[in-house]
Amino acid sequence: MAASNSTTLRPNGPRDMDLSRKPRWRSVFSRGMDVVVGLVTLAALIPLVSVIYMVVRKGAGNFRWSMLWELPPAAGMDGGGFGNALVGTLLMVAIGAAVSVPTGILTAIFLTEYSHGSKSARLIRFCAKILSGLPSILAGVFIFAVLVVATRSFSVLAGGLALGIVMLPIIILATEEALLRVPHFLREASLALGANRTQTVLHITLPAAGSTIITGVMLAVARAAGETAPIIFTALFTSYWISGLNQPAASMAVLIYNFSGVPYDSMVNMAWTASFVLIVIVLVTNIVSHLVANRSK
């Protein structure tokens, strides 16, 4: 019996030997791919970490709390801050969010709940994907041609609308994906209990997808806060406080762009500090979005 058992454990031929070797080669291949993925991830993190390190090293050391409410200095002068640029950025992002968030969420609801699979839904989805891949400067050029030329003035409102165009496709696609992940049986249960489609969307579908929708909105806001090209074409720049929505305004991204190219060390240092503050704002926005999403799971 022992002899017969020992013979059955041995491979009967080349085919059995190949089958016994396959798991080993699969393990080697899997480990090799893990190493490749790790190296590629490390290669992608090196420039990101180096940029963040440089901004923190050169910007955090010169940071003063008074910079958050002081105006930019004149050329060659020390001191000052970027309070007007910070207010302008927050105001234009708020205008863009006020325009794009309701429009994006309602569009996503239309795509998933009312016209799923129709030709109009496919067309809107295609346009949103194309818009998300276009350079953001085209949003500034469009608002410049439509609003700035018509009013003959750069303005905070024009800058906010340009950022709204940048944010819109991100919100549409993120909200649509969030709504599609809601189990269909929740909708069926709501309809079976007598609720209509609108009540189901408001009380079942949107709350179930709320955390993912908030994450998409926060990511869109973080991207809009760092945009430069659309603001140059629409809001331009000013060294003074905002006097109205129809007047030019400063922004953090444009201030960094302008101050980084001047031959004055104090203004270059302020550009580094403004970059540090902008990175902190974007980082906090992303952290808050992830915390909200994780708490809602």
Look at residue 15 and tell me if it is in a domain.
no
Check which CATH number belongs to the domain holding 232 and give it. 1.10.3720.10
Instruction: Give the Cα separation of 58 and 66 in Å (integer).
Output: 18
Residue 272, phi then psi, degrees to nearest 5: -65, -40
pLDDT at 284: 84
What is the span of the domain harbouring residue 168?
87-251
Look at residue 262 and tell me if it is in a domain.
no
Look at residue 154 and tell me if it is in a domain.
yes
Return the exposure string of 223-249: e unless at least 16 CB atoms fall within 10 Å of the residue's CB, then b.
bbbbbbbbbbbbbbbbeeebeeeebbb
Look at residue 175 and tell me if it is in a domain.
yes
Instruction: Give the Cα separation of 15 and 28 in Å (integer).
Output: 20
Q: What is the mean pLDDT of residues 234-261?
A: 89
Name the nearest CA neighbour of 158 among 95, 224, 102: 95
- Residues with Cβ < 8 Å from 109, sequence gap 6 or more? 175, 179, 201, 205, 206
Per-residue pLDDT tens for 95-129? 999 999 999 999 999 988 888 778 888 888 888 88
For residue 21, pLDDT beyond 70? no
pTM exceeding the 0.95 threshold for the entire prediction: no
Instruction: Give the chain's domain count.
Output: 1
Look at residue 281 and tell me if it is in a domain.
no
Decide if 155 contacts 245 (C-beta within 8 A): yes
Look at residue 219 and tell me if it is in a domain.
yes
Instruction: Give the Cα separation of 169 and 153 in Å (integer).
Output: 27
